[in-house]
Amino acid sequence: MKRWKGRVALVTGASVGIGAAIARALVQQGMRVVGCARNVDKIEKLSAECQSAGFSGTLIPYKCDLSNEDEILSMFSAIKTQHKGVDVCINNAGLAHNEPLLSGRTEGWRNMIDVNVLALSICTREAYKSMKERNVDDGHIININSMGGHRVVPSADEHFYCATKYAVTALTEGLRQELREAQSHIRVTCISPGIVETEFAFRHLDNDPEKAAAVYASIKCLKAEDIASAVTYVLSAPPHVQIGDVQMRPVEQVS
């Protein structure tokens, strides 16, 4: 991780869970991390905690609604002005709504596409532009995917969510191919966790907190820090090594 010290990483959805753990880990490794979310109160608190811990990097909170392209473009413009650009882009933000294919609301489907697919694609495009205009040829784009992007969960409330994650799997491989065609050494990786104990299930099943709690109580789940460790592992790989897809699930998880 020494070569990343002092360089700039963008982490989307950095206020809680996996995003917060990744932001913390990268600051600890000496990176300048722009952490974005719709509400930055928790990121500001995390930034202060990192400073108090004596971490060599810095965490810069940035308020951004990723379902709004104009806000994403404004964020990248601000990063360019204040920090020159992005060297590492961690597309972590994602959400799920309980909207089955037969009865779901279009609004919920559209929100999942906006955040899970379009925002990821826009951030990727803008991060690549930032790298290319500064002749950064060793940058890295990491998509936090899901095991739901590799198999369809037999649960109606997750089917559309799985579709958006299958899109992330395809987008990651498509991006790898386009980078090769462009003869770029920028790398792209997809990290696909199984069940991780965060606030995700409680947000997804907000009308049934008991069911959400049961998801995490059923097995020994992954922790957000496990995913952060996978990110630092990927970034630590030698520049000639392309790690495509990291699938990780709890030992006790069946599917």
Question: Would you name the residues annotated as active-site residues?
Answer: 161
Place of tokens 């907190």: 209
- Please list the alpha-helical segments (H only) found in the chain: 17-28, 41-52, 69-83, 106-112, 120-133, 159-181, 200-204, 209-217, 224-236
Query: Which residue is it, tokens 């559309």?
Result: 160
Q: Looking up tokens 């104990």, which residue turns up?
A: 197
Specify whether the CB–CB gap between 18 and 192 falls below 8 A.
no
Pairing between β-strand 88-91 and β-strand 58-63 as defined by DSSP bridges: unpaired
Instruction: State the CB neighbour count (10 A cutoff) for residue 83.
Output: 17
